[in-house]
């Protein structure tokens, strides 16, 4: 069995990556990731579940990723805030 030259292998790998990037951009949806269940999307960010663990796929500038994180984890942040308020025995603000 002959070996594939390094240059040919690298070019083939680069080609596969370019095609996958193009196709994932054209789909308009969240990329499918093996073993993870897609839950939601927000401004280009995606939220997946790995069992009970939240997994986020964020992109863009730091500001854009912060917005994506906030949009995707909004409910969890409200739950954490309510839990902390309860533990500190102060009424929750609305």
Q: What is the pLDDT of residues 50-80, one digit of tens each?
A: 999 999 999 999 999 999 999 999 999 999 9
- Any domain includes 76: yes
Q: Is 4 helix (H, G, I), strand (E, B) or coil?
A: coil
Where in the sequence is the domain holding 55, given as residue range(s)?
34-94
- Any domain includes 44: yes
Beta strands in 1-94 (DSSP E): 37-42, 45-50, 53-57
- Any domain includes 82: yes
CA 59 to chain CA centroid, Å, is: 8
- Any domain includes 48: yes
Q: Give the per-residue pLDDT at 30.
A: 83
- Any domain includes 46: yes
**pTM given for the model:** 0.61
Beta bridge partners, 89, equal none
| Contacts of 45 by beta carbon, 8 Å cutoff, 6+ apart | 56, 57, 58, 59, 65, 68, 69, 71, 72
Q: Give the per-residue pLDDT at 73.
A: 95
Q: Give the per-residue pLDDT at 85.
A: 87
- Any domain includes 13: no
Q: How many domains does the chain have?
A: 1
- Any domain includes 14: no
Please say if the pLDDT value at position 92 is more than 90.
Answer: no
Cα–Cα distance measured from residue 36 to residue 52, given in angstroms and rounded to the nearest whole number? 11
Reported as a single tens digit per residue, the pLDDT across 1-52 is 455 666 665 566 555 554 444 444 444 578 888 899 999 999 999 999 999 9
- Any domain includes 28: no
Please give the helix or strand (H or E) that residue 6 lies within, else none: helix 6-27
């Amino acid at each position: 069995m002959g070996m594939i030259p390094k240059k040919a292998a690298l070019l083939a790998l680069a080609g596969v990556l370019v095609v996958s990037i193009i196709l994932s951009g054209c789909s308009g949806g969240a990329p499918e990731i093996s073993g993870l269940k897609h839950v939601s999307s927000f401004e280009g960010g995606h939220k997946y579940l790995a069992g009970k663990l939240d997994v986020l796929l964020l992109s863009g500038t730091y500001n854009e990723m912060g917005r994506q994180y906030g949009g995707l984890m909004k409910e969890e942040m409200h739950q954490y805030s309510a839990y902390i308020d309860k533990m500190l025995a102060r009424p929750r603000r609305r």
